[in-house]
A and B are shown apart, each in its own frame.
Chain A
Amino acid sequence: MFTAFRTAKPSQYLKGATGDWEVIIGLEVHAQVASNAKLFSGASTAFGGAPNDHVSLVDAAMPGMLPVINEECVAQAVRTGLGLEAEINLKSVFDRKNYFYPDLPQGYQISQYKSPIVGEGTVRLDMPDGEVVEVGVERLHLEQDAGKSIHDQSPNHTFVDLNRSGVALMEIVSKPDMRSGDEAKAYLSKLRTILRYLGTCDGDMDKGNMRADVNVSVRKPGGELGTRCEIKNVNSIRFVGQAIDYEARRQIGIIEDGGTIKQETRLFDPGKGETRSMRSKEEAHDYRYFPDPDLLPLEFTQAWVDELKAGLPELPDAKKARFIAQYGVTPYDAMVLTLEKASADFYEDVAKGRDAKIAANWVINELFGRLNKEGKSIEESPVSAAQLGGIVDLIVDGTISGKIAKDLFEIVWTEGGDPKTLVETRGLKQVTDTGAIEAAVDAVIAANPDKVEQIKAKPTMAGWFVGQVMKQTGGKANPQAVNEILKAKLGLE
């Protein structure tokens, strides 16, 4: 599946002194495989714990120790490959990548070089303007994580924590298909969504369980590709955007000043919002890759892949399409609702047997809005799907108005309780008794003869009357009834 080399839209061009520039971006994402044990040892992958608590003899590279592949990690990589609509290679090979570092006990990282477990695939991005951008996946391979070197505990020593050493990572390499920081952010975000749906990586970037190496180059629109720089280990989606914006500007500046870009590895400094050189191509390691003789080639059957495929959950793109078809929500709303599987499930619980659009409106605007504001995840929501559904029910059957519903939501959010009971006990019930509404309407008309005169010339004034009546009834009057009675009494038909 080869994606044609995209040219950016003019709106994505960066303006330079010499004209427009196009940014070419590719991402290498390291995603920690969700598994209980490491890739080649039985040691735990639990986060935290005292340093060097989760280290087996294999992880510490004791003499005579041998790696044994963890089948669950292989299954997770295959599931991910399937989720990326990628080619699954029934035979792949583990290689050794050789270099010395204290947090790499073996003196080599076991990775996959020439024959990865997963080949080419595709990730679709829903951009806010409605455009769907297809980003090609070049490959996905399995490899070991290194340990952690801790430089800030002592002036004279570096400490090494091997808890992470040997944990399984998936390196997912995109094609250079992205043309702006926003696209790169959307890609990382979509990838994260897919991995989380699949349950193959928790996508927790704060813990370093997902991180990106960003390759950036610039060129004249549609022209010859420029020299790329690789920005290592960017650990948030926001920083990816910042790093790209800075790096593209830096490269354009150099070229426009008559300089040339050196191929190099750079680091992003989130504090300063800039990238700086880490090592040049000349300083790059010669990793001396060769097939790991301790491990036979990794082979499995198509039947096993099919079995894993049958067990996959509904993925974001499919779920989004279904939401549009089944619930009649807009593509954008469908995208928002399906960003997280838990959110989508929550929405479906609310929408079940109810007006799906009103449900979508309440889930997105009230619930997600409030969760975002308070930095809570859907799992931490104080309002359950049943409670939110109860509120929607009360709106739809006319028991409360939309405005009262917002107050009710606030009460449920802060105090909890059954919405229906709360409406009763707090007297939030909408006044649908036409007699009471008529009385209020009459009172307003009587008190404002001048306005009554004005409305005859300007029927849009009706809104003012509705407001006055609502005020009189403490917001509890059924707005539809108020409208009808007002119109009748004022002869606005």
Chain B
Amino acid sequence: MTDLTALTIAEARDALAKKDFTALELTDAYLGAMEKARALNAYVLETPEKARAMAAASDARRAEGRVGPLEGIPLGVKDLYCTEGVRTTACSKILDDFVPPYESTVTSNLWADGAVMLGKLNNDEFAMGSSNETSCFGPVVNPWRRKAADGSIDPTPLVPGGSSGGSSAAVAAHIALGATGTDTGGSIRQPAAFTGTVGIKPTYGRCSRWGIVAFASSLDQAGPFARTVRDAAILLKSFASVDPKDTTSVDLPVPDYEAAVGTSIKGKVIGIPREYRVDGMPAEIETLWSQGIDWLRAAGAEIREISLPHTKYALPAYYIVAPAEASSNLARYDGIRYGLRVTGDDITDTYELTRAAGFGSEVRRRIMIGTYVLSAGYYDAYYVRAQKVRTLIKRDFDLAFQAGVDAVLTPATPSSAFGIGEKSGGDPVEMYLNDIFTVTVNMAGLPGMVVPGGLDAKGLPLGLQLIGRPFEEETLFQVGEVIEQAAGRFTPAKWW
């Protein structure tokens, strides 16, 4: 039998329908691959028994003619998603061995559509990070490795991006057919770019946030990782739903995203924002961007230079809004009701000891920044101004869309994947700069997708980002597939 883990979701779906193999066989293939890939540290919890039971149940449903859109498709779940009866930690010590008695809405949707859970995927602690190095379970290793000038493989372990580093690595390494991610400032798109996978952050409100450990509520959004644009479209259809338990979710019909894949983009207007040409951007990124523009023009799109003048304020404003919300969202981890508790002399002592022991340094840093910017006397200078910036960023995009732009094309990241430890030691701003092209999308609540565009000189994947109008994810899948067709797909050479 061929390697079942090489198939895409669309291919596996069709083969399962033709009874070429069973869901259990497919799941077993993945469980076997996961076992061999533990060096990647992508999974923080493998759930083989549950996976096999779910796969068997899927086969039973199929035998009865009940076939969901994701019937028998094995997926990995970012550890930020609460999974009923399965340990959920957000990769933080503070949650200890917390086992939720409830299932997040998004994963409930996936299981209801027939998908199989393989396990829980590593991420930056509370999704705070761009390299997966802040996880209490240790860093994830990118399945991609650098090529030295002489063509030999450099064994330096690289980061898979973050915060959804376990998800991106697992999909790239074929130890999950697809994965869930969350994106607050780029946590799906940047890791997708670093691993040659497709990742989409849908419009804010497209997916329910219920049951997903909150980082920054006004920015967090769930989305899928996949190996192809079509697969991402298939997954998003199941992710998206209006949820009465999340009043920020939006009651709009969920389109058949897959139907948009492969349709012509002739006449579509693609905006190229001049402000995304930042100082010190590697020539390779610039070249890739130009290449992307050429591909889309060749496919019949109209290319238009646009201006998004407030772009440069996005990152600083993001690092006010996100920590502010996080400082409040993480107040519930106090050692009283669940998770870690370090008992002190009195209640204040218990809080302090518990939170000092439970939170890692990056989470503590952001709680402190957030607490500071919300404090009396600083609130107006920081938080209120950041929210005003946010409004201006959104308006920049609104004006572009009103002028007829269908989607915006930008680089995904300012570099390819870097080495573990290379950026985590010193100035945190260096790490924060990873999100420079992605945070605007969260600030404006727009959908953004990253599609692999090519490899750099070191043989590492680079991504292109497409930004769309609110709730017009279909356009992203449509345009993204054109890039995918032109660029091809990228799979890391297996070394693990």
Which residues on A are within 8 Å of B, measured CB to CB?
57, 60-69, 96, 98, 100-102, 105-108, 158, 160, 286, 288-290, 293-296
Chain B contacts for A160, CB-based, 8 A: 336
Q: Are A66 and B336 in contact (CB under 8 A)?
A: no
Quick one: CB contact mask for B18-34 with A, threshold 8 Å, 1 for yes?
00000000000000000
Q: Are A64 and B248 in contact (CB under 8 A)?
A: no
Determine whether B90 belongs to the interface, using a CB cutoff of 8 Å to chain A: yes
Closest 6 CB pairs of A and B: A107-B331, A293-B218, A293-B217, A288-B374, A61-B332, A64-B211
Chain A contacts for B100, CB-based, 8 A: 62-64
Determine whether B239 belongs to the interface, using a CB cutoff of 8 Å to chain A: no
Total B residues in contact with A, Cβ cutoff 8 Å: 44
Determine whether B214 belongs to the interface, using a CB cutoff of 8 Å to chain A: yes
Chain B contacts for A61, CB-based, 8 A: 332, 337
Q: Are A60 and B337 in contact (CB under 8 A)?
A: yes
Chain A contacts for B104, CB-based, 8 A: 64
The A/B interface has a contact count, at CB < 8 Å, of 99
Q: Are B328 and A63 in contact (CB under 8 A)?
A: no
CB distance from B218 to the nearest CB of A (A): 4
Chain A contacts for B331, CB-based, 8 A: 98, 100, 106-108
* Residue from B101, B244, B247, B371 having most chain A Cβ neighbours under 10 A: B247
Quick one: CB contact mask for B321-342 with A, threshold 8 Å, 1 for yes?
0001101101110101110000
Chain B contacts for A289, CB-based, 8 A: 374, 379
Chain A contacts for B327, CB-based, 8 A: 98, 288
CB distance from A73 to the nearest CB of B (A): 14
* Contact residue among A108, A286, A295 (Cβ-Cβ distance under 8 Å from B328): A108
Look across to chain A and name the residue whose beta carbon is closest to the beta carbon of B102.
A57
Q: CA of A296 to CA of B217 in the docked complex: distance in angstroms?
A: 11
Which residues on B are within 8 Å of A, measured CB to CB?
81-82, 88, 90, 95, 98, 100-102, 104, 209-214, 216-218, 244-248, 324-325, 327-328, 330-332, 334, 336-338, 347-348, 351, 371, 374-376, 379, 383
Q: Are B82 and A64 in contact (CB under 8 A)?
A: yes
CB distance from A112 to the nearest CB of B (A): 16
Q: CA of A36 to CA of B170 in the docked complex: distance in angstroms?
A: 47
CB distance from B459 to the nearest CB of A (A): 39
Q: CA of A108 to CA of B217 in the docked complex: distance in angstroms?
A: 14
Q: Are B247 and A295 in contact (CB under 8 A)?
A: yes
Look across to chain A and name the residue whose beta carbon is closest to the beta carbon of B350.
A102
Q: Are A105 and B247 in contact (CB under 8 A)?
A: no
Q: Are B336 and A294 in contact (CB under 8 A)?
A: no
15 contacts between A and B (CB under 8 A): A57-B101, A60-B337, A63-B90, A68-B246, A68-B247, A98-B331, A98-B374, A101-B347, A105-B337, A106-B332, A286-B375, A288-B328, A288-B374, A290-B325, A295-B247
Q: CA of A105 to CA of B347 in the docked complex: distance in angstroms?
A: 14
Look across to chain B and name the residue whose beta carbon is closest to the beta carbon of A97.
B328
Q: Are B332 and A100 in contact (CB under 8 A)?
A: no
CB distance from B276 to the nearest CB of A (A): 27
CB distance from B354 to the nearest CB of A (A): 11
Q: Are A98 and B95 in contact (CB under 8 A)?
A: no
From DSSP, what is the main secondary structure of chain A's interface residues? loop
CB distance from A162 to the nearest CB of B (A): 9
Q: Are A63 and B98 in contact (CB under 8 A)?
A: yes
Q: CA of A295 to CA of B214 in the docked complex: distance in angstroms?
A: 14
Chain B contacts for A101, CB-based, 8 A: 347
Q: Are B347 and A98 in contact (CB under 8 A)?
A: no
Chain B contacts for A57, CB-based, 8 A: 101-102
Q: CA of A293 to CA of B330 in the docked complex: distance in angstroms?
A: 14
Q: Are A290 and B214 in contact (CB under 8 A)?
A: no
Q: CA of A63 to CA of B213 in the docked complex: distance in angstroms?
A: 5
Q: Are B245 and A102 in contact (CB under 8 A)?
A: no
Tell me whether A102 and B332 are in contact in the complex, defined as CB-CB below 8 angstroms, given that A68-B245, A295-B247 are known contacts: no
Q: Are B210 and A64 in contact (CB under 8 A)?
A: yes
Q: Are B210 and A66 in contact (CB under 8 A)?
A: yes
Tell me whether A66 and B98 are in contact in the complex, defined as CB-CB below 8 angstroms, given that A98-B331, A100-B351, A290-B374 are known contacts: no
Q: Are A288 and B347 in contact (CB under 8 A)?
A: no
Chain B contacts for A107, CB-based, 8 A: 328, 330-332, 334
Chain B contacts for A62, CB-based, 8 A: 82, 100, 102, 337-338
Q: Are A296 and B379 in contact (CB under 8 A)?
A: no
Q: Are A288 and B217 in contact (CB under 8 A)?
A: no
Look across to chain B and name the residue whose beta carbon is closest to the beta carbon of A106.
B332
Q: CA of A288 to CA of B90 in the docked complex: distance in angstroms?
A: 25
CB distance from A151 to the nearest CB of B (A): 11
* Residue from A98, A105, A294 having most chain B Cβ neighbours under 10 A: A294
Q: Are B328 and A96 in contact (CB under 8 A)?
A: yes
CB distance from B132 to the nearest CB of A (A): 20
Q: CA of A68 to CA of B248 in the docked complex: distance in angstroms?
A: 10
* Residue from B81, B211, B332, B374 having most chain A Cβ neighbours under 10 A: B332
Look across to chain B and name the residue whose beta carbon is closest to the beta carbon of A285.
B376
* Contact residue among A64, A98, A290 (Cβ-Cβ distance under 8 Å from B383): A290
Q: CA of A62 to CA of B246 in the docked complex: distance in angstroms?
A: 15
Q: Are A290 and B376 in contact (CB under 8 A)?
A: no
CB distance from A172 to the nearest CB of B (A): 25
Chain B contacts for A290, CB-based, 8 A: 324-325, 328, 374, 379, 383
Chain B contacts for A102, CB-based, 8 A: 334, 336, 347
Q: CA of A145 to CA of B153 in the docked complex: distance in angstroms?
A: 61
Known: A98-B327, A288-B374, A296-B248. 20 other contacts (CB 8 A): A63-B88, A63-B98, A64-B82, A65-B210, A68-B244, A68-B247, A69-B247, A98-B331, A100-B331, A102-B347, A105-B332, A105-B336, A107-B328, A107-B330, A107-B331, A158-B347, A160-B336, A290-B324, A290-B325, A293-B217
